[in-house]
Structure 1
Amino acid sequence: MNQSENLFRQFNNLSEEWKIWIVENLERGCAPTDLMHILIKEGLITSVQEATIKQDIHPQYYTWLEQIVQQKQNLSTTTLNDAQKKWLAEAVLDQIPRIEIYHTLITQGANEIDIAIELTQLKQHPYFQIAQQQHFLNRKRDWLLKTLDRFARLNPNYREIQRIPTPNFEQFVQDFYSRNLPVVLTNAIEHWDALEKWSPQYFKDMVGDQEIEIQFNREQDPLFERNSIQHKTKMKMDDYVKLVTQTHHSNNFYMTANNAKASQSSLTKLFEDIGNFHSYTDHTQMAKRSFIWFGPKGAFTPLHHDLTNNFLAQIYGKKKVTLIPALQVPNLYNDIAVFSQIVDPNDPNTVESFPQFQQCSKIECILEKGETLFIPLGWWHCVESLDISISVSFTHFNIDNGGAETFPSAP
Structure 2
Amino acid sequence: MSTILLDLKLQNSNQTQNNDNENLIPRIKQSDLSYNDFYWNYMNANWPIILTSISNDWECRRNWTKQTTTTNNETTEINFIYLKQKIGNCHVPVANCSKEYYNSHEKCEMKFFDYLDQWQQSVFDTNRNLYLKDWHLKALMPDYDFYRVPKYFASDWLNEYLVDKKLDDYRFVYMGPRDSWTPFHADVFGSYSWSTNIAGRKQWLLLPPLEEQKLTDSLGNLPFRITKQLLTEKNVKFFTIIQTENESIFVPSGWYHQVWNLTDTISINHNWFNACNVPIIWRNLATCMQRVIHEIEDCRGMDNFEEHCQTMLRASFGINYSDFLNILEHIMTKRLQQCSTNNNNNIDNILFDTFTLSDFHVRYDLAIIADVLEAIQNDEVVLARAELCDRCKELVEKIKGFKNASEN
Q: TM-score, normalised by structure 1?
A: 0.52
| Alignment of 1:193 onto 2:59 | yes
Distance change (3 Å), C-alpha of 1:384 and 1:335: farther
Corresponding residue of 1:238: 113
1:325-373 CA-partner distances (Å, limit 9, x unpaired) = 1132331327999x72261222x4x26xx95x2x212211111110000
1:8-19 matched pairs, under 5 angstroms: none
How far the C-alpha of 1:282 sits from its partner, in A, is 5.0
Structure with a larger share of its residues in helix: 1
Distance change (3 Å), C-alpha of 1:264 and 1:332: same
CA contact under 8 A between 1:159 and 1:361: conserved in structure 2?
Answer: no
CA contact under 8 A between 2:202 and 2:263: conserved in structure 1?
Answer: yes
Secondary structure (helix, strand or coil) at the match of 2:249 reads strand
Structure with a larger share of its residues in strand: 2
2:200 pairs with one of 307, 317, 322: 317
Corresponding residue of 1:34: none
1:345-360 matched pairs, under 5 angstroms: 345-346=227-228, 348=229, 350=230, 355=233, 357=234, 359-360=235-236
Corresponding residue of 2:42: 176
Corresponding residue of 2:150: 277
CA contact under 8 A between 1:245 and 1:388: conserved in structure 2?
Answer: no
Separation in structure 2 between the aligned mates of residue 300 and residue 335 of structure 1, nearest angstrom: 27
Separation in structure 1 between the aligned mates of residue 197 and residue 219 of structure 2, nearest angstrom: 29
Corresponding residue of 2:247: 371
1:148-167 matched pairs, under 5 angstroms: 157-166=21-30, 167=33
Separation in structure 1 between the aligned mates of residue 93 and residue 121 of structure 2, nearest angstrom: 19
Runs of at least 5 residues in structure 1 that lack an aligned partner in the other structure: 1-153
1:328 pairs with one of 211, 215, 232: 211
2:264 pairs with one of 375, 388, 391: 388
Q: Report how many aligned residue pairs link the two structures.
A: 242
2:90 pairs with one of 203, 207, 210: 210
1:37-68 CA-partner distances (Å, limit 9, x unpaired) = xxxxxxxxxxxxxxxxxxxxxxxxxxxxxxxx
How far the C-alpha of 1:234 sits from its partner, in A, is 1.9
Separation in structure 2 between the aligned mates of residue 313 and residue 293 of structure 1, nearest angstrom: 10
Separation in structure 2 between the aligned mates of residue 171 and residue 334 of structure 1, nearest angstrom: 39
Corresponding residue of 2:223: 341
Corresponding residue of 1:256: 133
Distance change (3 Å), C-alpha of 1:279 and 1:344: closer
How far the C-alpha of 1:407 sits from its partner, in A, is 5.4
Separation in structure 2 between the aligned mates of residue 336 and residue 290 of structure 1, nearest angstrom: 34
How far the C-alpha of 1:277 sits from its partner, in A, is 1.5
Separation in structure 2 between the aligned mates of residue 241 and residue 313 of structure 1, nearest angstrom: 21
Amino acid at match of 1:319: K
Separation in structure 2 between the aligned mates of residue 324 and residue 256 of structure 1, nearest angstrom: 22
Secondary structure (helix, strand or coil) at the match of 1:254 reads strand
CA contact under 8 A between 1:281 and 1:397: conserved in structure 2?
Answer: no
Distance change (3 Å), C-alpha of 1:277 and 1:155: closer
Separation in structure 2 between the aligned mates of residue 279 and residue 161 of structure 1, nearest angstrom: 17
Secondary structure (helix, strand or coil) at the match of 1:159 reads coil
Corresponding residue of 1:220: 99
1:116-131 matched pairs, under 5 angstroms: none
1:81-139 CA-partner distances (Å, limit 9, x unpaired) = xxxxxxxxxxxxxxxxxxxxxxxxxxxxxxxxxxxxxxxxxxxxxxxxxxxxxxxxxxx
Separation in structure 2 between the aligned mates of residue 196 and residue 295 of structure 1, nearest angstrom: 18
CA contact under 8 A between 1:303 and 1:345: conserved in structure 2?
Answer: no
CA contact under 8 A between 1:335 and 1:341: conserved in structure 2?
Answer: no
Corresponding residue of 1:41: none
Secondary structure (helix, strand or coil) at the match of 2:210 reads helix
Separation in structure 2 between the aligned mates of residue 326 and residue 280 of structure 1, nearest angstrom: 21
Of 177-186 and 242-251, the range deviating more from structure 2: 242-251
CA contact under 8 A between 2:46 and 2:253: conserved in structure 1?
Answer: yes
Distance change (3 Å), C-alpha of 1:227 and 1:344: closer
Of 319-328 and 279-288, the range deviating more from structure 2: 279-288
Separation in structure 2 between the aligned mates of residue 227 and residue 280 of structure 1, nearest angstrom: 27
Corresponding residue of 1:150: none
Amino acid at match of 1:343: R
Output the aligned Cα RMSD.
3.2
Amino acid at match of 1:192: W
Separation in structure 2 between the aligned mates of residue 340 and residue 156 of structure 1, nearest angstrom: 30
